[in-house]
Structure 1
Amino acid sequence: MTLPAPIQTYFTAQAPQDGAALAAAFAPDAVVLDEGATHNGPQAIRLWWLAAKAKYRHSAEPLDLTETGGKTVVRARVSGEFPGSPAVLTFTFGLADDRIRDLRIG
């Protein structure tokens, strides 16, 4: 499976050393919705990602990709230090100009 470049960056970035690369994959006005919270802009998204990596020590393995309604939907097996691990989660990406414009994790 070939993922679009910014989505590939999202799934392969390693914390904390790839924080800048992860932030650069997001558009200036990007929004992430995860666990009932909204994170706006690359810097806030980077801080959310670093905190989540530190808390859950998780990794995500993409399983499949579909295009639906202008969104790129990736189902991934997420393993880490959280109840129910591993779990299959859905990552719904909106892309614009080769960057992630929005991401909803559920």
Structure 2
Amino acid sequence: MPTLILPETIAAYFASEHSPEALAHCFTAQAVMTDFGHTYTGINAIKALMAEASLKYSATTVPLTIEREDGLQLVRAKVSGNFPGSPTVLSYRFRLERGLIASLEVTA
């Protein structure tokens, strides 16, 4: 199976999933993240969400595919952790600006 090649910032996002401080360096200052219908704006809100999710779910994420969709990078990833329905495949829609994540939408 070929190795999945992700843009550097997206690879860093997945590699830092349990380190909110490291994740913060992947986003623009005014980034917007939508996670299952809840919207978080700015680095501090995103870091707080990621820290809470890391503690609560202990999830691990393995990117499976990447494609371009309407100017976005769409990554489908297998997510396993302490939540109902684990493991599952989620969709991550990244919009990059100047090498950083300007927006991210996570959906089932």
The TM-score bracket by the shorter chain reads over 0.9
Task: From 2, 9, 14, give the equivalent of 1:6.
Answer: 9
Describe the SS at the equivalent of 1:85: coil
AA partner of residue 42 (structure 2): G
Name the structure 2 match of 1:43: 44
Offset at 1:36? 2.1
Give the 4+ runs in structure 1 shifted more than 2 A.
none
5+ residue gaps, structure 1, are: none
Q: CA RMSD in A?
A: 1.0
TM-score, scaled to structure 1: 0.93
AA partner of residue 11 (structure 1): F
Name the structure 2 match of 1:24: 25
- How many residue pairs match? The answer is 104
User: Which whole-Å CA distance do the structure 2 matches of 1:97 and 1:68 have between them?
Assistant: 18
Is 1:92 the equivalent of 2:93? Answer: yes
